[in-house]
Structure 1
Amino acid sequence: MKLAILGAGAMGLTAAAVATSRGHEAVLWSPSGKSTTGLAEKGFVTSTGAIEGNWPVKFGNSIDETLANADAVLLAVDANGHRGVMEAAAPHMKSGVPFIVSAAHSLSGLYLAQLLAMRGTDAPVVSWNTSAGTAHRTANGAVDIRVVRSRIEASVTPASASADAMAMCRALFPAHFEERASALEIGLLANCNPVFHVPVCLANIARIENGEHWAPYEQTTPAAGRLMEALDGERIAIANAYGFDIHSVNEHFHRSFKTPLASMDVMNATLHAVGRGPKGPMSVQHRYLMQDIPYGLVFAAAVGRIAAVPTPVHDATILLASTMLDFDFAGANTILEALDLGEMSRNELTAFANSGHRPTMDLRTGTSQ
Structure 2
Amino acid sequence: MRVSILGAGAIAYGLAAYLAEAGHDPMLWSPSGERTKALATGESLTATGAIEATVSVRIAKDCKEAVATADVVMIALPANGHKKVMDAAAPYLREGMPVIISSHSSFGALYLSRQLAQRKVSLPIVVWGTTLVTGRQSGPTEVHVASVRQKLDVATLPFDAMDQGFRLCTTLFGDRFVMRDGMLAIALSNLNPQNHLGIALLNLTRMEKGEQWSQAGNVTPAVGRFIEALDAERSAIAARFGIAVRTVEEHFSLSFHVPMGTVSEMNQEMDRQGRGGFGPSTIESRYVLEDVPFGLLPTVFLGKISGNPAILHEAGIAIFSAAYGRDLKADNDILPALGIEGIGKVDLENLCRKGF
Q: Which residue of 2 aligns with 1:6?
A: 6
Distance 2:163 2:222 in 1: 44
2:317 alignment partner AA: I
The residue correspondences of 1:261-272 to structure 2 (distance < 5 A) are 261-272=260-271
Distance 2:260 2:183 in 1: 27
Contact 1:149 1:175 in 2 (8 A): no
Q: Cα offset for 1:43?
A: 4.1
Deviating 4+ runs (over 3 angstroms): none
Q: Which residue of 2 aligns with 1:338?
A: 337
The answer to whether 1:142 aligns with 2:150 is no
The residue correspondences of 1:274-313 to structure 2 (distance < 5 A) are 274-313=273-312
Q: Which residue of 1 aligns with 2:46?
A: 46
The residue correspondences of 1:161-310 to structure 2 (distance < 5 A) are 161-190=161-190, 192-310=191-309
Structure 1 residues without counterparts, runs of 5 or longer:
358-369
Contact 2:80 2:332 in 1 (8 A): yes
Identity %: 37
1:89 alignment partner AA: A
* More displaced 10-residue stretch of structure 1: 274-283 or 89-98: 274-283
Q: Which residue of 2 aligns with 1:362?
A: none
1:347 alignment partner AA: V
1:173 alignment partner AA: F
2:319 alignment partner AA: L
Contact 2:39 2:57 in 1 (8 A): no
1:293 alignment partner AA: V
Find the residue that maps to 1:105 and give its secondary structure.
coil
Find the residue that maps to 2:216 and give its secondary structure.
coil
2:243 alignment partner AA: F
Contact 1:195 1:231 in 2 (8 A): yes
Q: Which residue of 1 aligns with 2:37?
A: 37
The answer to whether 1:356 aligns with 2:355 is yes
Per-residue CA distance 1:237-291 (angstroms, 9 max, x = gap): 1111111111211110011112112121111111101101332112212111111
1:353 alignment partner AA: C
Q: Which residue of 1 aligns with 2:133?
A: 133
Structure 2 residues without counterparts, runs of 5 or longer:
none
The residue correspondences of 1:96-115 to structure 2 (distance < 5 A) are 96-115=96-115
Per-residue CA distance 1:187-230 (angstroms, 9 max, x = gap): 1101x111111111111111111111112111111221121111
Distance 1:250 1:327 in 2: 33
2:227 alignment partner AA: M
Find the residue that maps to 1:42 and give its secondary structure.
coil
The answer to whether 1:66 aligns with 2:66 is yes
Find the residue that maps to 1:120 and give its secondary structure.
coil
TM-score w.r.t. the length of structure 2 is 0.97
Q: Which residue of 1 aligns with 2:323?
A: 324
Contact 1:150 1:174 in 2 (8 A): no
2:144 alignment partner AA: D
1:49 alignment partner AA: G
Contact 1:217 1:268 in 2 (8 A): yes
Find the residue that maps to 2:213 and give its secondary structure.
coil
Find the residue that maps to 2:317 and give its secondary structure.
helix
Contact 2:43 2:141 in 1 (8 A): no
Per-residue CA distance 1:2-58 (angstroms, 9 max, x = gap): 000001111001110111111110100111112112211234211011121211110
